[in-house]
Amino acid sequence: MALIVHKYGGTSMGSTERIRNVAKRVAKWVRAGHQLVVVPSAMSGETNRLLGLAKELSPEKLGPDALRELDAIAATGEQVSVGLLALALQAEGLGAVSYGGWQVPIQTDSAFTKARIASIDDTRVRADLAAGKVVIITGFQGIDPDGHVTTLGRGGSDTSAVAVAAAMKAHECLIYTDVDGVYTTDPRIVPEAQRLSTISFEEMLEMASLGSKVLQIRSVEFAGKYRVPLRVLSSFTPWDIDIIEEARSGTLITFEEDEKMEQAVVSGIAFNRDEAKITVMGVPDKPGIAYQILGPVADANIDIDVIIQNVSHDGKTDFSFTVHRNDYAKTLDLLTNTVAPATGALQVLGDPKICKVSIVGIGMRSHVGVASTMFRTLSEEGINIQMISTSEIKTSVVIDEKYMELAVRALHKAFGLDAAATA
Ligand code: ADP
Ligand code: ASP
Ligand code: MG
C-alpha cells in the first residue's frame, strides 16, 4: 500500500461527466490498495470567470485590500471542485472527505495572489486516510498567519499537490492534465512536438520558469527540494486502463543526470508572452546608474527579467529590461515620473508586444555553437533579436510577439525535435 497524490487540472474537472471519470480513476487506485489524496483545480474557465467578475468591480490600481478580496473570490472555484469530487467518490461507494486549504491547514505567507506555502499540517488528513477515506484538498489556496484566504498564483494547484506530496512523503505525485506528458514544446503551437518519456528536474525547472505552463514553476521547485517523484500524465485515457500501464505513462521528472544514453543538446523550446520591455534612453553612463534605475523598480516589488545596457555614446547610454506584463503600466509610470527626472534620462519607451523564446537542454553544457545555431535560424526567418540572455542550460531571446510561433516552429525543426526528424 502506498500513499499517492493525484492532481487534476481544470479541463480534467471541466464537467460533472469528467468529474465522474476522475472519481472512477481514483476509485481504481484505491481498489488496487493505495491511499489517495486528490488535489483538483477549479472547473476549466472558472478562475477566469471569477477574476473577470472581480475586475468589473475593482478599482484601477489594486491595493492590498483589493488583492485580499481577489483571493477570497478566486479560491471559491476550487472549493466547488473538491465538494463535487467528494460527492462523485461517495457515489462510487468510497469514503471521501473534502477540505479547503484553510481547513487542513495549508499555511502560506500573506502575499495575496502569489502566496508561498510555509507549512502543511497533515494530522487531519492522515487520520482520514487511516479511516479508509480518500482525502480531497483544494488546489491553489491556503491561509495566511492572520486567517485570510490566499492563493498561490495562476496554475498554483500543481504546487499544492506537490507540496502535499512532499509534506506527507508520498510515494509519488501524479499530475493529470489534458496532454499526455511534457513535450519538446507546447503541442498546441507545434503539432510535430514529441512527448518526452523523462525530463531532468533542471530542464523542467528551466522550461517552467521560461513559460511552459504544463507545470507551475513552484511545483517543480518543491519537487526538487524534497525529491518528490513527479509524473505528468493524461486524464483523458480511459479511466479503466491497466493501473501499471497508467503508472508508467506520461513524463517522469528525473533527478539523476545521464539517465539517457545520449543526451539531446536541446531538449525543449519554451516561450513566454507575458513580458513587456522598457527602455530608458540617454542616461549618463556612470557607476551606479543601473542601481538608480532598477533599485526603485525592485523596491516597488516588481520582478525584472532580461536586462541589457548598450555601449555609450557621448557619455550617455540606453538601458532596457523586461518585466511581467501585469507590471508594465506601473513600471512605465515609475520610470517616467520618478526615475527619469532623478537620473536625467532623455526618454522612457515601452513595448508590451514582445515575447521571449528559449531553448533548453542540459546537453548545452558540453556543446558549443548551440546559441549560434539559434541566432542563424532566427536570422534565416528574418526575425530580429532584441535581447539575449543565457545560462548554462538555456539561451533566451526577446523578439517581436508577432513572430513567436514562427520562431518556435523554426527552432523546433532546426534542433531536430520535430517528430518526423527522429521517427
Ligand atoms: P491543467 O489545467 O491540467 O493544469 P494547463 O493548461 O495548466 O493544464 O497545462 C497543460 C497545457 O500546457 C497543455 O494543454 C499545453 O498546451 C501546455 N504546454 C505548454 N508547454 C508544454 C509542453 N512543453 N509540454 C506539454 N504541454 C505544454
Ligand atoms: N484554478 C487556478 C488557475 O486557473 C489554479 C490551477 O488551475 O492550477 O490558475
Ligand atoms: Mg496548470
Gap from CA of 164 to ligand 2 centroid (Å): 16
Closest CA to 331 of 316, 306, 310, 352: 352
Closest CA to 395 of 369, 416, 417: 369
- 355: helix, coil or strand? strand
- Ligand 1 proximal residues by C-beta, below 6 Å: 9-12, 41, 155, 177-179, 182-183, 185-188, 212-214, 268
Rounded distance, CA 286 to CA 288, Å?
6
Gap from CA of 114 to ligand 3 centroid (Å): 15
Cβ(22)–Cβ(88) below 8 Å? yes
pLDDT classification of 143: cutoffs 50, 70, 90: very high
Per-residue pLDDT of 295-321, as tens digits, reads 999 998 899 999 998 888 888 999 999
Mutation to probe ligand 2, out of 7, 117, 138, 140 (largest number of atoms < 8 A from CB): 140
pLDDT beyond 60 at 67: yes
Ligand 1 atom nearest 207 alpha carbon: 23
Report the amino acid identity of residue 348: V
Higher pLDDT, 343 or 403: 403
DSSP 154: T
Summarize the confidence of residues 36-65 as an average pLDDT: 93
Q: What is the mean pLDDT of the chain?
A: 94
Mutation to probe ligand 1, out of 38, 39, 177 (largest number of atoms < 8 A from CB): 177
Rounded distance, CA 312 to CA 339, Å?
19
Check if 413 has its Cβ closer than 6 Å to any atom of ligand 2.
Answer: no
Cβ(165)–Cβ(135) below 8 Å? no
The cell numbers describing 330, all together, are 506601473
pLDDT classification of 365: cutoffs 50, 70, 90: confident
pLDDT beyond 70 at 292: yes
Quote the pLDDT of residue 310.
85
Cβ(197)–Cβ(253) below 8 Å? no
Higher pLDDT, 263 or 135: 135
Angle at which helix 217-226 crosses helix 201-209, to 10 degrees, equals 160
Closest CA to 153 of 135, 140, 142, 163: 140
pLDDT beyond 90 at 367: no
The cell numbers describing 171, all together, are 510515494
Domains in the chain, ordered, with CATH? 3-256 (3.40.1160.10), 268-422 (3.30.2130.10)
Gap from CA of 158 to ligand 2 centroid (Å): 8
Rounded distance, CA 211 to CA 357, Å?
9
Angle at which helix 217-226 crosses helix 157-167, to 10 degrees, equals 10
Quote the pLDDT of residue 263.
66
Instruction: For residue 11, give the ligand nearest its CA.
Output: 1
Quote the pLDDT of residue 61.
74
Cβ(156)–Cβ(216) below 8 Å? yes
The cell numbers describing 272, all together, are 513566454
Per-residue pLDDT of 197-243, as tens digits, reads 999 999 999 999 999 999 999 999 999 999 999 999 999 999 999 99
Angle at 128 between CA 126 and CA 132, to 5 degrees: 110
DSSP 147: S
Gap from CA of 185 to ligand 1 centroid (Å): 10
pLDDT beyond 90 at 64: no
Quote the pLDDT of residue 1.
85
Mutation to probe ligand 2, out of 154, 214, 219 (largest number of atoms < 8 A from CB): 154
Angle at 5 between CA 157 and CA 255, to 5 degrees: 90
Summarize the confidence of residues 248-274 as an average pLDDT: 85
DSSP string for residues in 209-241: HTT-TTS-HHHHHHHHHHT--EEEEES-S-TTS
Residue nearest atom 8 of ligand 2, based on CA coordinates = 155
Instruction: For residue 175, give the ligand nearest its CA.
Output: 1
